[in-house]
Amino acid sequence: MTSQTYLSELFSLDGRVAVVTGGSSGIGRAIAGALARAGASVVVVARGEKELAATVDELSADGCRAAWVSADLRTRDGVRAAAEKAAEVFGEPDILVNSAGVNLRPPMGELGEEVWDTTMAVNLDAPYLLGQRFGPGMAARGFGRILHITSQQAHRAFVQSGAYGVSKGALESLARSQAEAWSPHGVTCNTLVPGFVMTPLNARLSSDPEKVAALAARTLVGRNGLAEDFAGAVVFLASRASAYVTGQAIFVDGGFSVH
Ligand SMILES: NC(=O)c1ccc[n+]([C@@H]2O[C@H](COP(=O)([O-])OP(=O)(O)OC[C@H]3O[C@@H](n4cnc5c(N)ncnc54)[C@H](OP(=O)(O)O)[C@@H]3O)[C@@H](O)[C@H]2O)c1
């Protein structure tokens, strides 16, 4: 057996179908690219059509199979419509990655219901609804991979965690509930936990060089994260190789969380 055959048996996503919410930007875009380059047919879901089309164009130019669905995940009807449209493109997904997220961080005393509701809708309700739509089918087919992107704030409060931290803590619990339900049927459910990654999500913080340097100093590796740092972890967690890894929070944070 060649090493290429061995690696392919473990990690190839050939023939798999993936849906990646938030796949048009930042971490989600890098994840969509990694899954597509590892062989999956990928549907990226977000609102902005320009960014969606640019993502798909880049992947298509690389010889990948990719498509996009524009949808607003703030409403339950929007999520349901997105799920149906996404499943129409390449068929029911084997892999679901929930990377779409909002990061609204007013001080706790000023946190109003609108910010709370939007945060819960996008960061928690959408992953729940998409899991309900796709998880049972994955279980019936005997293979599935559900991945959520959470946050350090799921584990500790800092920089005004507010509703954001609550949504991400609950998302980790959702992964465990999903893992409990569907792991016996070949569907693993895990979360990836970033440290600080410079993306449009945290543009305000990214524009402060002192804060950026201080965050880098808090890692063990000595730098902040790059979206590309998630490629290896996501291919592993989407592949056959990770069949016995479920209900876990996997930190991809350069050691940010361990000291
Ligand atoms: N960057 C970090 O340091 C960091 C740290 C911890 C956790 N995370 C988490 O990682 C995930 C990805 O973050 P990122 O940094 O890659 O952010 P990003 O670059 O801002 O990307 C966010 C994505 O979500 C989509 N999105 C936002 N609201 C949406 C809505 N209502 N409906 C549909 N799509 C929506 C955006 O597209 P449209 O705006 O076009 O809809 C975009 O594709 C998030 O869940 C975030 O909480 C990030």
**Structure confidence at residue 165 (pLDDT):** 98
Tell me which residue of 181, 99, 138, 125 sits closest to 16, measured CA to CA: 138
Per-residue model confidence (pLDDT) at position 92:
98
**Candidates 6, 128, 164, 244; catalytic one:** 164
Structure tokens at 58: 């880049």
- Tell me, what's the pLDDT at 23? 98
**HSE value, Cβ hemisphere, 13 Å, CA-based, for 121:** 16
- For the chain, 259 residues long, give each residue's pLDDT as a single digit of tens: 999 999 999 999 999 999 999 999 999 999 999 999 999 999 999 999 999 999 999 999 999 999 999 999 999 999 999 999 999 999 999 999 999 999 999 999 999 999 999 999 999 999 999 999 999 999 999 999 999 999 999 999 988 999 999 999 999 999 999 999 999 999 999 999 999 999 989 888 888 999 999 999 999 999 999 999 999 999 999 999 999 999 999 999 999 999 8
Residue in 42, 47, 253 to alter for ligand 1 test, most ligand atoms within 8 A of Cβ: 47
The angle, 0 to 180 degrees and rounded to 10, between the axes of the packed helices 162-182 and 126-141 is: 10
* Region class of 21: left (phi > 0), else alpha (psi between -120 and 50), else beta: beta
- The residue nearest atom 26 of ligand 1, judged by CA position, is 100
Distance CA 43, CA 106 (A): 33
Q: Is there an atom of ligand 1 within 6 Å of 102 CB? A: yes
- Which residues pair with residue 17 across a beta bridge? 41
The closest-lying atom of ligand 1 relative to the alpha carbon of residue 100 is: 24
Please give the Cα distance from 228 to 207 (Å, whole number): 20
For a substitution probing ligand 1, which of 19, 21, 27 has the most ligand atoms within 8 Å of its CB? 27
Q: 13 by DSSP, 3-state: which?
A: coil
- Residue 235 pLDDT: 98
pLDDT score, position 255 = 98
Cα(199) to ligand 1 centroid in Å equals 8
Query: Which of the listed residues 76, 167, 171, 199 should we mutate to test ligand 1's pocket, taking the one with most ligand atoms within 8 A of CB?
Result: 199
Map tokens 């949808």 to a residue.
71
| Residue 6 annotated in active site | no
**Residue 6 Cα to ligand 1 middle (Å):** 34
Locate 216 and state its tokens.
Answer: 């880098």
For residue 100, the CA-to-ligand 1 centroid distance in Å is: 4
Closest residue to atom 47 of ligand 1, CA basis: 101
| 189 CB within 6 A, ligand 1 | no
Helix ranges (H only) for the chain are 3-11, 26-37, 49-61, 76-90, 113-120, 126-141, 162-182, 203-206, 209-217, 231-238
